[in-house]
């Protein structure tokens, strides 16, 4: 996937100015997710669960090499073919080879963020293979040729009106069709896809090293259909997704659902152990798991950022974030957005391409408070900011501005003079003609009206 | 490719202190008296329906009545003959009703557990899914159910915790998006329950 994170400041300002419905839709959806999460956490000993989940993930990550080898053994024993991809290019090659060897013409996709990360759809289309997204939200954004704007709800930036319009134009549904009517149109089209496809591509929420279990969580049933109807199932799984014991699933499945949507469990949880057995009436004949590195081993080597690999992709931090809520995920210019995206993206693709993201936060700490595996996101945001400064990535004016500010604040005479000077500026002084460097901020905002007297002056006059 | 990934992982961990594996977390147990009530309450809360039947005989007569609303059925491979309704057999993609024999259920999450041995499509494609569950297999917690399942893992374990749903269209909850819009869990008591 093309990384456009360096445009974050401009792009977020543009979305706020030009697409005000995004903020309304995203705010509504995330606040509702977060309310549900809070209730679902309150029902259990969430603090104990989070501490425990953090501990299990830390154990897996600090023994990742041996767990990966164990997982390969158990998956293989289950009849699954295991592949390894160091980067997106290798992953694409593996998927292409498997598809070509099996004569695949049509693929159903089961909402996988790793696939977005690796650019699997464009690659398949380049081979003349149709790739149909089957999660309702993913299907909608595929029609619009947009990337997902949220890890769990990829189309949460769209409101009902926009989806009505889209379906009216594409499928001739009534302009005021109900959500049920729209969903049933999609159901019919996608049902044909499930029954015609030769291959289903999924991600993986967890892989249990002990039993070779691939665990998948969802609410619609599209993931289970994609992994059971076509004759081939291929799962793209990040190398960090392992769990040691089958019994660990009990807490991880429930904790992930509680954090993501406030459910006790996803409506459909699938625990897969390989292809159809001879005695079974249906199911895929071939199952492939591709373990994907694509930057993860470098993140693991990082003395601070490695903790981001605990992430279970529940998006609770997006839902809790007052900054994400303003723009949704597109502004972040990367497949993973919000607080976790802001710390994951620099680790996976490098700070050079993602430098503004660690600044897309007020450091309020809500992301850490809700994280089911206690990733210290605020601390990591600061760590990435420090590195950006150390590596001289910030614009030169910012350094000069900070130095100037520090000098002014430590020289009372100068401070007094500057305060007076600011108040004497004409009313529109803060528009973009005077301060072009702040254009992204000043555009679309009214100029400031300074108080006629400073606080110091008022104080001296006895307020 | 594998070797290079593993050696990078190995190098990454060279100076990292190893974290210990915490003991399994065991959530509070549900008392046997509470289990069935909790299952009914939780699956109901998820949008599913629960029926309790005193035995196979009662199940059969209940089913005869229930099945009258349907024009055909797809049944699971391990469904007892007595629970096959007098309806024309249809492939799962055409059947309005799928009936499966569950290998278990979980009270705390309101989930029905169906094995791939039963068939995968019949649990998903028909708009209505009726799952019969032996009463002795209704577990209090997911942890207990998983412990039992681990003894014999089928190629796919499916947990159904209500009807298929999505809020992807304008945040409005819609049922029956891809999978069944209706899930009925029929608990069948056996002698001794």
> Which residues pair with residue A107 across a beta bridge?
A131, A199
Nearest Cα of chain B lies from the Cα of A416 at a distance, in angstroms, of 52
pTM, two decimals, is 0.94
CB-CB neighbours of A43 under 10 Å:
11
CA-CA distance, A200 to B193, in Å (whole number)? 42
Tell me which chain B residues have a C-beta less than 8 angstroms from the C-beta of A233: none
Query: Given this model, what pLDDT does residue A212 score?
Result: 98
CB-CB neighbours of A154 under 10 Å:
26
**Residues A311/A373, Cβ–Cβ less than 8 Å:** yes
Nearest Cα of chain A lies from the Cα of B84 at a distance, in angstroms, of 17
- Give me A50's structure tokens: 């989070």
Nearest CB among B46, B172, B178 relative to A221 is that of B178
Q: Is the ipTM of this complex over 0.95?
A: yes
Between strands A106-110 and A199-202, the pairing is: parallel
CB contact under 8 A, B177 and A49: no
CB contact under 8 A, A250 and B20: no
Find the mean pLDDT for residues A388-407.
87
Q: Which of residues 128-187 of A touch B (CB under 8 A)?
A: 134-137, 140, 153-156, 158-161, 163, 179-180, 182-183, 186-187
**Residues A349/A4, Cβ–Cβ less than 8 Å:** no
Find the mean pLDDT for residues A48-64.
98
* Distant-in-sequence, close-in-space partners of A53: CB < 8 Å, separation ≥ 6: A251, A252, A255, A310, A372, A373, A374
Query: Given this model, what pLDDT does residue A211 score?
Result: 98
Q: Indicate the DSSP class of residue A1.
A: -
Find where tokens 């005021």 sit. Answer: A176
Find the mean pLDDT for residues A385-399.
87
Nearest Cα of chain A lies from the Cα of B31 at a distance, in angstroms, of 17
Does B32 reach chain A within 8 Å, measured CB to CB? no
What does the pLDDT look like over A103-127, one tens digit per residue? 999 999 998 999 999 999 999 999 9
Question: Which segments within A296-452 are labelled E, that is strand?
Answer: none
Does A189 reach chain B within 8 Å, measured CB to CB? no
Does B19 reach chain A within 8 Å, measured CB to CB? yes
Q: Which of residues 328-387 of A touch B (CB under 8 A)?
A: none
Query: Given this model, what pLDDT does residue A430 score?
Result: 55
Query: B82 or A419, which is more confident?
Result: B82
Cα–Cα–Cα angle for A336, A340, A345, nearest 5°?
Answer: 55
pLDDT surpasses 60 at A47: yes
CA-CA distance, A153 to A26, in Å (whole number)? 10
Size of interface A-B (CB pairs under 8 A): 255
Q: Which of residues 87-116 of B touch A (CB under 8 A)?
A: 93, 106, 108-111, 116
**Residues B91/B132, Cβ–Cβ less than 8 Å:** no
Nearest Cα of chain B lies from the Cα of A122 at a distance, in angstroms, of 23
* Closest CA relative to residue A115, chosen from A213, A29, A223, A12: A223
Nearest Cα of chain A lies from the Cα of B34 at a distance, in angstroms, of 17
pLDDT band at B27 (very low <50, low <70, confident <90, very high): confident
A265 to chain B: closest CA residue:
B109
pLDDT surpasses 80 at A444: no
Find the mean pLDDT for residues A209-236.
97
Q: Which of residues 44-63 of B touch A (CB under 8 A)?
A: 46
Cα–Cα–Cα angle for B21, B25, B27, nearest 5°?
Answer: 175
Nearest Cα of chain B lies from the Cα of A453 at a distance, in angstroms, of 49
CA-CA distance, A309 to B21, in Å (whole number)? 17
Tell me which chain A residues have a C-beta less than 8 angstroms from the C-beta of B178: 134, 187, 190-191, 194, 220-222, 225
Nearest Cα of chain A lies from the Cα of B64 at a distance, in angstroms, of 26
CB contact under 8 A, A239 and B147: no
Q: Is B36 exposed, middle or buried (0-12, 13-18, 19+ CB in 10 A)?
A: buried
Output phi, psi for A40, to 5 deg: -70, -30
- Give me A127's structure tokens: 């081979």
Find the mean pLDDT for residues B2-28.
95
Query: Given this model, what pLDDT does residue A463 score?
Result: 75
CB contact under 8 A, A90 and B1: yes
**Residues A369/A291, Cβ–Cβ less than 8 Å:** no
Q: Which of residues 134-173 of B touch A (CB under 8 A)?
A: 141-143, 146-147, 149-150, 153-172
Q: Give Rg (Cα) of chain B.
A: 20
Tell me which chain B residues have a C-beta less than 8 angstroms from the C-beta of A272: 155-157
Query: Could you tell me the CA-to-CA distances from A160 to A24, A298, A365, B184 in Å, in that order?
Result: 12, 41, 32, 30
- Give me A196's structure tokens: 């015609």
What does the pLDDT look like over A197-220, one tens digit per residue? 999 999 999 999 999 999 999 999
* Closest CA relative to residue A242, chosen from A90, A117, A57, A417: A57
Nearest CB among B46, B142, B172 relative to A254 is that of B142
Query: Given this model, what pLDDT does residue B7 score?
Result: 97
Tell me which chain B residues have a C-beta less than 8 angstroms from the C-beta of A220: 164-166, 177-179
* Closest CA relative to residue B102, chosen from B58, B148, B171: B148
Query: Given this model, what pLDDT does residue A419 score?
Result: 81
Query: Given this model, what pLDDT does residue A455 score?
Result: 84
What does the pLDDT look like over A317-374, one tens digit per residue? 999 999 999 999 999 999 999 999 999 999 999 999 999 999 999 999 999 999 999 9
- Give me A143's structure tokens: 């029609």
Does A318 reach chain B within 8 Å, measured CB to CB? no
What does the pLDDT look like over A127-158, one tens digit per residue? 999 999 999 999 999 999 999 999 999 999 99
Q: Indicate the DSSP class of residue A455.
A: H
Query: Given this model, what pLDDT does residue B17 score?
Result: 96
Does B77 reach chain A within 8 Å, measured CB to CB? yes
* Distant-in-sequence, close-in-space partners of B58: CB < 8 Å, separation ≥ 6: none
Does A219 reach chain B within 8 Å, measured CB to CB? yes
CA-CA distance, B39 to B138, in Å (whole number)? 8
Find the mean pLDDT for residues A404-409.
93
> Which residues pair with residue A65 across a beta bridge?
none
- Mean pLDDT (chain A) is 94
Query: Given this model, what pLDDT does residue A420 score?
Result: 81
pLDDT surpasses 60 at A428: no
CB contact under 8 A, B153 and A137: no
pLDDT band at A434 (very low <50, low <70, confident <90, very high): low
Query: Given this model, what pLDDT does residue A438 score?
Result: 67
Mean pLDDT is lowest, of A229-243, A315-329, A389-403, B120-134, for A389-403
Query: Given this model, what pLDDT does residue A335 score?
Result: 95
């Amino acid at each position: 996937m093309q990384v456009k994170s360096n445009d974050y400041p401009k792009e977020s300002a543009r979305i706020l100015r030009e697409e005000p419905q995004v903020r309304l839709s995203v705010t509504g959806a995330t606040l509702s997710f977060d309310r549900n999460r809070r209730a679902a956490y309150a029902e259990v000993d969430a603090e104990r669960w989070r501490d425990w989940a953090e501990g299990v993930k830390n154990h897996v990550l600090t023994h990742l090499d041996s767990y990966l080898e164990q997982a390969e053994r158990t998956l293989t024993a289950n009849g699954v073919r295991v592949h390894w991809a160091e980067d997106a290019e290798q992953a694409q090659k593996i998927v292409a080879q498997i598809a070509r060897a099996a004569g695949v013409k049509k693929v159903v996709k089961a909402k996988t963020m790793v696939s977005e990360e690796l650019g699997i759809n464009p690659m398949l289309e380049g081979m003349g293979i149709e790739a149909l997204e089957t999660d309702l939200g993913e299907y909608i954004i595929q029609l619009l040729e947009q990337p997902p704007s949220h890890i769990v709800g990829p189309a949460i930036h769209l409101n009902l009106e926009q989806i009505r319009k889209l379906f009216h134009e594409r499928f001739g549904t009534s302009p005021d069709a109900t959500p049920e009517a729209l969903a049933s149109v999609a159901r019919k089209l996608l049902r044909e896809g499930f029954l015609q496809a030769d291959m289903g591509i999924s991600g993986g929420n967890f892989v249990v090293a002990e039993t070779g279990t691939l665990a998948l969580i969802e609410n619609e049933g599209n993931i289970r259909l994609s992994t059971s109807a076509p004759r081939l199932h291929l799962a793209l799984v990040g190398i960090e997704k392992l769990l040691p014991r089958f019994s660990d699933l009990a807490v991880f499945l429930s904790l992930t659902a509680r954090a993501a949507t406030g459910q006790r469990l996803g409506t459909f949880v699938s625990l897969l152990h390989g292809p159809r057995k001879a005695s079974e009436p249906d199911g895929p004949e071939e199952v492939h798991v591709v373990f994907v590195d694509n930057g993860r081993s470098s993140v693991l080597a990082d003395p601070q950022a490695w903790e981001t690999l605990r992430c279970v992709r529940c998006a609770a931090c997006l839902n809790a974030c007052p900054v994400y809520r303003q723009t949704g995920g597109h502004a972040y210019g990367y497949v993973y957005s919000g607080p976790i995206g802001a710390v994951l993206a620099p680790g996976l693709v490098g700070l050079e391409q993602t430098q503004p993201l660690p600044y897309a936060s007020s450091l309020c700490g809500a992301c850490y408070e809700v994280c089911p595996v206690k990733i210290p996101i605020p601390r990591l945001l600061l760590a990435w900011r420090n590195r950006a400064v150390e590596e001289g990535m910030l614009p030169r004016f910012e350094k000069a501005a900070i130095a100037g500010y520090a000098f002014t604040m430590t020289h009372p005479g100068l401070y007094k003079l500057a305060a007076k000077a600011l108040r004497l500026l004409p009313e529109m002084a803060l528009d973009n003609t005077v301060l072009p460097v702040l254009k992204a901020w000043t555009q679309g905002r009214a100029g400031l009206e300074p108080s006629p007297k400073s606080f110091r002056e008022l104080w001296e006059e006895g307020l | 490719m594998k070797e290079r990934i593993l050696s990078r992982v190995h190098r990454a961990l060279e100076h990292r202190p190893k974290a210990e594996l915490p003991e399994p977390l065991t959530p509070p147990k549900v008392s046997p008296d509470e289990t069935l009530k909790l299952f009914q309450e939780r699956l109901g809360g998820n949008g599913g329906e629960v029926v309790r039947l005193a035995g196979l005989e009662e199940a059969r007569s209940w089913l005869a009545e229930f099945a009258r609303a349907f024009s055909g059925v797809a049944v699971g491979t391990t469904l007892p003959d007595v629970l096959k309704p007098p309806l024309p057999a249809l492939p799962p993609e055409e059947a309005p009703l799928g009936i499966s024999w569950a290998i278990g259920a979980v009270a705390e999450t309101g989930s029905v557990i169906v094995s791939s041995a039963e068939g995968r499509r019949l649990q998903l494609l028909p708009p209505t899914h009726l799952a019969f569950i032996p009463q002795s297999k209704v577990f209090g917690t997911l942890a207990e159910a998983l412990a039992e399942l681990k003894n014999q893992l089928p190629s796919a374990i499916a947990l159904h915790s209500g009807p298929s749903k999505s809020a992807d269209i304008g945040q409005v909850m819609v049922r029956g998006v891809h999978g069944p819009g209706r899930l009925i869990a029929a608990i069948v008591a056996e002698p001794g329950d």
